[in-house]
Amino acid sequence: MIFLTRRAVFSASHFYWNEAWPAEKNEQVFGRCANRNGHGHNYTLEVTVAGEPDPVTGFVVDLKWLKEVMEREVLAAYDHRHLNLETLEFAAGKLIPTTENIAISAWNRLQPAVQAAGGAQLTRVRVYETPEVFAEYRGGQ
């Protein structure tokens, strides 16, 4: 079993706000992240798949294919976007776009495409908000 990982970067805006709370409570809990104009980050998305290298190619998966999947499933939706305003998961206050929730949402976007391809399994999605903070999701495990 080999764990093969690829990184990509996307730039997005977000803010933290719980619609069920008054403004004061949002500001108290979320601090500067509660600014509803939004602020942004260069997020790093790190995707790991696991499997046996194909003896014919030496590939667990074709890295060009993995790059396309990451771009089509995640970057097309998140890059140069305001997560709270323009994405299915986070729009209309449905879900707060914390690094934790972005990692889960990226997994949910990637998993069907990796599974449909057969072979390698998605095992880990890591999202860095900055070099100092990151969240990792491993599916149900």
Binding region for a second copy (CB under 8 A)? 1-9, 11-14, 16, 18, 20, 29-33, 35, 37-42, 53, 56-60, 62-64, 79-82, 85-86, 95-101, 103-104, 130-138, 141
Active site residue 82: no
Active site residue 80: yes
Report the half-sphere exposure of 101 (CA within 13 A, side-chain side).
Answer: 16
Active site residue 33: yes
Alpha carbon 60 to its chain's center = 22
Sign of the CA dihedral 86, 92, 97, 102?
negative
- Tell the smallest beta-carbon distance from residue 79 to a second copy (Å): 7
State the DSSP H helix or E strand holding residue 47, giving kind and residue range, or none if neither.
Answer: strand 39-51
Task: Catalytic residue, from 27, 33, 89, 100: name it.
Answer: 33
Cβ closest to a second copy, residue 86 vs residue 117: 86
Longest dimension (CA), the chain: 61
- Tell the smallest beta-carbon distance from residue 71 to a second copy (Å): 13
